[in-house]
Amino acid sequence: MSVKIACVTFDCADPILVGGFWSAAIGRPLDEGADSGFASIGFAGRRHRAGWAEVGEAEEPTWIFARVPEPKVGKNRMHLDVVTADVEAEIARLVGLGARRVADHDEYGYTWTLMTDPEGNEFDIAHQLTQRLIEGSGTALRRCS
């Protein structure tokens, strides 16, 4: 038995702002009824009072944006890593949506860019490899253990 991710939840000051940013970033619409206290993506039909609907292998998680009174303080203890085929173009698009480019990283041959959403929640963006690039590189992917 194992767990599956059903939902990614953001505590935030402005659910419409943060939800709207992530909606545009991931290309999924905000659910109807979003307001200053709560917004979601993919919530309808997935969450019931008794629990979450079954999560299939290829299903994307629900996203929830809930207003909380306290501001974000310090570094996130957990963050999202997102991938794209054209990192620089996507960074420019996300900055246009309200994100901020914080720092470019290159550690042990791995590269990524640290970004923040409109309320300062950190996330990383990196290059998404295609199967053709993986096979043509002559190197195997390293798995985290």
What distance lies between CA 32 and its chain's CA centroid?
Answer: 20
Query: Tokens 């960074």 correspond to what residue?
Result: 91
Q: For 38-75, what is each residue's pLDDT tens digit?
A: 999 999 888 888 899 888 888 899 999 999 999 888 88
Report the candidate in 41, 116, 47, 143 with the shortest Cα–Cα distance to residue 55.
Answer: 47
Report the candidate in 70, 8, 13, 69 with the shortest Cα–Cα distance to residue 40.
Answer: 8
Q: Are 42 and 52 in contact (CB under 8 A)?
A: no
Q: For 75-98, what is each residue's pLDDT tens digit?
A: 888 899 999 999 999 999 999 999
